[in-house]
Each structure stands twice: as C-alpha cells, then as structure tokens.
C-alpha cells in the first residue's frame, strides 16, 4: 500500500510540475555519464565512422558530438578519453568550416565564450590543414583530422539546453 501511495504522489507531482511550467531535473539515459549539465556516451564500439556519420549517430540518439565549450570541459574530455579503449580516436563536435584558424561548435554555430579555450583551439588549428575535430586512439593527441577518416562517435546531451527547450 505504501508503494502505491508513493507512486501516486510521484505521478501527481510530475503532473503538477508540467501544469505550472516547471520540469524535474533531467537524468541521463541509461549507460551515459553525467558531468555538470551534460550527459556523455563514448561510442568506441562504433568505430570506422566518418565525422559526418558519427555526428548522425549521435543525432539519432537525441545528442550531438561532444562540444568542448571551455577549459574545464577540455580537461574532462582529455582525462576521460585516455580511459576508453578506442579502436579509432573519438570525433568531437568542432569544425573549421572556412579552412583557416577559425572554428565553430556546430550546435551553437559559433566558437566558445572561453577565451583561454579559444586561444588553445586557434593554436591547434594553425598546425593543421584539416577540418574536423577529434582525438587520437590513445586519447592523447587533440586536433583536426580529415573528415572522412575513420573515428568513433563521442556523444553529448546538453541538459541545460533541453530543460530550456522544455520550459518554452
């Protein structure tokens, strides 16, 4: 009886939250890792994908390739990538669409607001003639690669963006 009462209370609470335009904190899907306001899924078993097919894979999960927005997220990605047994390195949601040192985060269609991270990206971009962001299979070398090279998806769901979309 107590279990039924708790279930009814939870259902009523969710219905009330929807009626007044608020939402309960979003959890990550099963198998994803939550860090700050994002959920991450390493797709190391789905190797050999071009940047575009890796991006489509993430999109099919309601996510996008991991987009590093600041130095804190860069340090997380750098450390986390070294813990994964990549066959191919992971693709990142970073592009150089103009063939120069400018780069963008595809979902934002702009670069980060973190000046330290922007400087790091510009330095990396200067040393490469390729356009798609990624890491090597040891998770140690971060840079731009040929978009048609084989890589693995590394997906991200922005919980903050999702909750803003739900509220509107």
Confidence of residue 54 (pLDDT cuts 50, 70, 90): very high
Q: How big is the CA angle at 75 (ends 25 and 123), to the nearest 5 degrees?
A: 125
Which DSSP symbol is given to 132?
E
Q: Which long-range contacts (CB under 8 A, 24 or more apart) does 54-60 make?
A: 54/91, 54/151, 54/152, 54/153, 54/154, 55/91, 55/93, 55/106, 55/153, 57/153, 57/155, 58/153, 58/155, 58/156
Query: What pLDDT score was predicted for residue 53?
Result: 96
Quick check: is 163 in a domain?
A: no
pLDDT digits (tens, 9 = 90+) for 123-139: 766 666 778 888 877 76
Is the pLDDT score of 39 beyond 90?
Answer: yes
Domain CATH number, residue 38: 3.10.100.10
Is the pLDDT score of 167 beyond 50?
Answer: no
The mean pLDDT value for 52-71 works out to 92
Q: Greater confidence, 79 or 15?
A: 79
Least confident interval from 11-15, 77-81, 140-144: 11-15
Tell me the residue range of the domain where 82 lies.
33-158
d(CA 86, CA 156): 17
pTM tops 0.85: no
76 Cβ contact partners less than 8 Å away, ≥ 6 residues apart: 35
H helix or E strand, kind and range, residue 135? strand 132-135
Handedness of CA 38, 31, 146, 124 (dihedral sign): positive
| Overall domain count for the chain | 1
Is the pLDDT score of 107 beyond 50?
Answer: yes
d(CA 124, CA 131): 11
Whole-number mean pLDDT of the chain?
74
Least confident interval from 13-17, 52-56, 79-83: 13-17
Q: Greater confidence, 9 or 91?
A: 91
Quick check: is 168 in a domain?
A: no
Quick check: is 144 in a domain?
A: yes
The mean pLDDT value for 21-43 works out to 80
């Amino acid at each position: 009886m107590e279990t039924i009462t708790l279930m009814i209370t939870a259902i009523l609470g969710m219905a009330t939250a929807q009626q007044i335009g608020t939402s309960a904190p979003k959890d990550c899907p099963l198998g994803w890792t939550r860090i700050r306001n994002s959920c991450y899924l390493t797709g190391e078993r789905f190797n050999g994908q071009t940047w575009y097919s890796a991006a489509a894979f993430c999109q099919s999960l309601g996510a996008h390739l991991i987009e590093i927005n600041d130095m804190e997220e860069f340090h997380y990605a750098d450390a986390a990538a070294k813990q994964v047994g990549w066959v191919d390195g992971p693709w990142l949601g970073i592009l150089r669409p103009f063939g120069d040192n400018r780069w963008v985060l595809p979902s934002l269609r702009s670069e980060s607001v973190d000046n330290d991270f922007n400087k790091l990206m510009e330095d990396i971009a200067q040393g490469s003639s390729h356009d798609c962001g990624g890491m090597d299979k040891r998770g140690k070398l971060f840079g731009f690669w040929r978009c048609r090279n084989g890589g693995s998806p590394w997906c991200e769901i922005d919980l903050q963006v999702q909750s803003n979309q739900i509220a509107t």
